[in-house]
Structure 1
């Protein structure tokens, strides 16, 4: 997990995005982040740090969409954390098709860089997600600045959202379910029509199945499913999937329309026009494979527009000529055009983001393919009646495929839940010592509450503060200090039962939590404190031939667990601990909350 610990001078930041406990769970960065266009695409982070004055403020969502450009775009965001506790968020791009995304954290210790995007293998991404995403950790009172560099052969969309982990997990799971259903439907439709071709030997079914599969493959690459799941270790070689895939799909769409509408019989002039277009589109397919990637994308975009216009024109002409199924054909392609248009308008920031605008292309293409599939079934209804047995076999195959799809969706959902559980465990553990962090201690204290049977059930709170830690840290360095903390944490853990909760509040402070039922007397608590003090006082080897001794002040308190939070439960132990420090340090004091009533008031 990334921890932003960058303190940038106030003079370098025009404004800061302030985050606190009342902040929205999803924050679009348009209007908050600043951007810089690197026309040479050669600037390094060191160069950019010298050009802070040249960054421009973004005001609207459409300003984050830079279209087809050879430039690299840099984003700069100043942040200020007013959270009361450590928070873990995620910085997520809203557009999946980005070739090279670099995330920089600049600190006094140097520059740390993280990579994502299609040019980077999935196993090197900070988060394995459809879209470039980076985990970010905020500490109370922290001020930080981040830099992001983006570049792409396709349209460069730098829309970024900053969101909580819960919002990110919910959004990512919902999107994966929707996309799984969408691609499952495409696979089912394509397989169904392929089986129809095998059973009926009608080439139109093969054309339609090829169109569906090619469109699905290109779409999966465009929205990040392909690079994430299908070819995670392939980078540059997959750049051709989108332009060439969509170009082939456009060519197949023209070939399908020609046979579906039977233009050679009902509209010979239009048939010649479509045949000529198919020839030109074949050349475009070859061009998208062999030309430079940016040019291939431009060819693909022109093909997409001209294909839709041509098919709608042919369809309208077919309706006027009263060609069978022409109305369904026009309706199907009109729905796809509406869906893609809504998505484009939404990406430009002119429409709000909701279920229908975000997934408009998927909805439009799904309905379009369903309508065309139904039209094909109606067109060859007589042939299917003659082969009822073959049709029954095909239906059974489709049902089996749907069951397989449901199984895969369920398995993927289970994997996501497991990953979520693992992430939850990760954020409750102190990365340095491997014991609980403050969040983990809070969860453990709440667990003690759930285990109480009576209102007066007690909890044991042990607060441990190392007395000579800072001199060790200053004299031998942070690495030695880290080794000392790790060693002491391991020693204390060995002295505690499996039911005890050992955690690190931060710095050189440790906490032990126990259920009151596990101890029988004050003497037993004193013995526990003395045991911990003894193992802490033993020498620790921090470097070859270098051994150090530290002491500790240990405050032990009993409190009614039902009427406290962890913060209030610590107050009595904290007061006892400071009483030791004021009287010479290196000792153990056991108190109950009644000994310090002013310290435990809720």
Structure 2
């Protein structure tokens, strides 16, 4: 029961995280739309159209169900004194062309959508995030074309608030997929230990549910197959078909339909065949044809599974009640989800997250059913094992030890997942949050031991020029390659490298001495200067500016914050002196003129 309490607590925390509006978006102006049946309209032909040409988007968001038409959306952004970003909160739109217009002229255009490779997005997010480059009043036009449901939830954010909101959603989503991963691994290792095929089937079913939800949520395209547009296009019908097959297989195993009800067993076999045929059809037929089939099959298959559970419940099978409840929750989520896809429901929260919550509840309840069923079988085996000799008792103890080892492995895996959150997603270096934790600890250790500690802050010279001339993708490639060079060259025991933000990096060198530290940093800057950074847009040569601060070189009892500020001041002086420089801080305001 303790294990189930923990799992339920995780689920409730995820629900609260999804439903709690911590970071507020800006007020969204009225949004208008126009249906372009032929798909031939251009931005030039729409800019001067009168208000009567447009229709007001109904409800709290644009939701028009499945359609082959192209939709244009239009709204006016007022002038602002801060940066803004537009979020389109539905990750299954094929093509989005965003036009930003001022005084009748297009000043910026952004093209995105899940029919393009994920790396081409302006902001790497499962949602479509479009930066508004101008602070002035701007007319925004969106051309949207999709084979999925035409759902276009729009919102305007300050960048910091949007990042915080995305992080909150990513955390809750990560908890959901972490729950699925733990349950899948647990059941797989249970199969390894017990050789009970039900655990293997159920583990596969959990994985299939996870892949399907990752496709629906956009998480799969962001993290699992960002380079594979074809799979993103086919993911939902393919993974949905696999879910039907494995759900029927799990039901037949848990409910023992082959012996208890041959007719129901044949029905489950029919669902497996239908799932196999829909999987094959999804490989060759277009998404827009298969998605309607998948939605109908999903409702029919879930309904039959509930009928199967209810029938065996009436026959006296105790755990069939829990099974029926679990499938009822999932069926409700699927039905509401299908209604949303068809355009009859405007709640994007329900559309995007209800099926996650429903599937999490269903997975935990089915795990309980599987545990009950396994426990019953175990009791029967124990009655037989009581007649066996002591060698069988030893084997039971070995099995117990294996299960304990399994739980330790799961705990270790959770710890590794937690460590993953400390990495900068692009460079795989430690992020700034880890630096904020490490630096005070190292300063206290240096005070205690008498050793010195150096903070080296490195900034790429003229990095904005690289982004402007070669593009942000090339800039990202340069950052990744520079991170690799820093890891190769700062290999002294105790050295740690962090991505501080943008094109800035920080190297923490406990126990360093000024002369040796300076010589090492000088060597690294020469390596960087001589290195050719290869990108898809060509080779790039660059230099860096460096600011250094050593704890024992600063007057007074400097804190970790002051040490970092001293290094930052030294970096500023290096850049101010012409860049491609190294400066060492002697105080919080002054630095040495040492080259």
Task: State if a TM-score over 0.5 links the two structures.
Answer: yes
Q: Which residue of 2 aligns with 1:59?
A: 58
1:527-582 deviation digits (Å, cap 9, x = unpaired): xxxxxxxxxxxxxxxxxxxxxxxxxxxxxxxxxxxxxxxxxxxxxxxxxxxxxxxx
Alpha-carbon distance in 1 for matches of 2:143, 2:126 = 18
Q: Which residue of 2 aligns with 1:32?
A: 30
| Change over 3 Å in CA distance of 1:297–1:344 after alignment to 2 | closer
Secondary structure of the residue that 1:297 maps to in structure 2?
helix
Alpha-carbon distance in 1 for matches of 2:332, 2:419 = 32
Secondary structure of the residue that 2:78 maps to in structure 1?
strand
Alpha-carbon distance in 1 for matches of 2:287, 2:73 = 24
1:396-438 deviation digits (Å, cap 9, x = unpaired): 334423432343244336537948999xxx9xx9979x9xxxx
| Change over 3 Å in CA distance of 1:518–1:292 after alignment to 2 | closer
Match of 2:356 among 357, 362, 387: 362
| Mapping for residues 360-399 of structure 1, pairs under 5 Å | 360-381=354-375, 387=396, 389-399=398-408
| Change over 3 Å in CA distance of 1:343–1:46 after alignment to 2 | same
Secondary structure of the residue that 2:152 maps to in structure 1?
coil
Q: Which residue of 2 aligns with 1:117?
A: 113
Secondary structure of the residue that 1:294 maps to in structure 2?
helix
1:440-499 deviation digits (Å, cap 9, x = unpaired): xxxxxxxxxxxxxxxxxxxxxxxxxxxxxxxxxxxxxxxxxxxxxxxxxxxxxxxx9977
Are 2:244 and 2:272, in contact at CA under 8 Å, matched by a contact in 1? no
Does structure 1 residue 224 correspond to structure 2 residue 218? yes
Alpha-carbon distance in 2 for matches of 1:411, 1:331 = 36
Q: Which residue of 1 aligns with 2:66?
A: 68
Match of 1:101 among 87, 91, 96: 96
Please state how far the C-alpha of 1:38 moved relative to its aligned partner. Answer: 1.8
Q: Which deviates more, 385-394 or 237-246?
A: 385-394
| Unpaired runs of at least 5, structure 1 | 1-23, 435-495, 504-516, 520-602
Q: Which residue of 1 aligns with 2:308?
A: 314
Q: Which residue of 2 aligns with 1:256?
A: 250
Q: Which residue of 2 aligns with 1:48?
A: 46
Alpha-carbon distance in 2 for matches of 1:55, 1:430 = 43
1:205-243 deviation digits (Å, cap 9, x = unpaired): 222111111111121122111111112222134311111
Alpha-carbon distance in 2 for matches of 1:134, 1:249 = 34
**TM-score, normalised with respect to structure 1:** 0.61
Does structure 1 residue 407 correspond to structure 2 residue 405? no
| Mapping for residues 159-558 of structure 1, pairs under 5 Å | 159-340=153-334, 359-381=353-375, 387=396, 389-412=398-421, 415=424, 418=431
Q: Which has the larger radius of gyration?
A: 1
1:264-318 deviation digits (Å, cap 9, x = unpaired): 2222222222222322332222112221111121121111111221111111111
Q: Which residue of 1 aligns with 2:149?
A: 155
Please state how far the C-alpha of 1:113 moved relative to its aligned partner. Answer: 2.0
Q: Which residue of 1 aligns with 2:579?
A: none
Please state how far the C-alpha of 1:171 moved relative to its aligned partner. Answer: 1.3
Secondary structure of the residue that 1:157 maps to in structure 2?
strand
Are 1:244 and 1:285, in contact at CA under 8 Å, matched by a contact in 2? yes
Alpha-carbon distance in 1 for matches of 2:30, 2:70 = 19
Q: Which residue of 1 aligns with 2:449?
A: none
Q: Which deviates more, 363-372 or 382-391?
A: 382-391
Are 1:188 and 1:398, in contact at CA under 8 Å, matched by a contact in 2? no
Secondary structure of the residue that 1:26 maps to in structure 2?
coil
Aligned length: 410
Alpha-carbon distance in 1 for matches of 2:244, 2:144 = 29
Are 2:59 and 2:346, in contact at CA under 8 Å, matched by a contact in 1? no
| Change over 3 Å in CA distance of 1:42–1:193 after alignment to 2 | farther
Secondary structure of the residue that 1:252 maps to in structure 2?
helix
Q: Which deviates more, 298-307 or 42-51?
A: 42-51
Secondary structure of the residue that 1:66 maps to in structure 2?
strand
Secondary structure of the residue that 1:147 maps to in structure 2?
strand
Secondary structure of the residue that 1:381 maps to in structure 2?
helix
Please state how far the C-alpha of 1:329 moved relative to its aligned partner. Answer: 0.2
Secondary structure of the residue that 2:244 maps to in structure 1?
helix
Are 1:288 and 1:299, in contact at CA under 8 Å, matched by a contact in 2? no
Please state how far the C-alpha of 1:394 moved relative to its aligned partner. Answer: 3.9
| Change over 3 Å in CA distance of 1:124–1:210 after alignment to 2 | same
Alpha-carbon distance in 1 for matches of 2:282, 2:130 = 32
| Change over 3 Å in CA distance of 1:157–1:133 after alignment to 2 | same
Alpha-carbon distance in 2 for matches of 1:92, 1:70 = 23
| Change over 3 Å in CA distance of 1:262–1:134 after alignment to 2 | same
| Unpaired runs of at least 5, structure 2 | 1-22, 383-395, 436-458, 468-568, 577-587, 591-595
| Change over 3 Å in CA distance of 1:177–1:56 after alignment to 2 | same
**TM-score, normalised with respect to structure 2:** 0.61
1:311-342 deviation digits (Å, cap 9, x = unpaired): 11111111111124101101111222344456
Are 1:65 and 1:157, in contact at CA under 8 Å, matched by a contact in 2? yes
Match of 1:135 among 131, 135, 156: 131
Q: Which residue of 1 aligns with 2:84?
A: 89
Secondary structure of the residue that 2:35 maps to in structure 1?
strand
Secondary structure of the residue that 1:315 maps to in structure 2?
helix
| Change over 3 Å in CA distance of 1:60–1:130 after alignment to 2 | same
Are 1:207 and 1:252, in contact at CA under 8 Å, matched by a contact in 2? yes
Q: CA RMSD in A?
A: 3.7
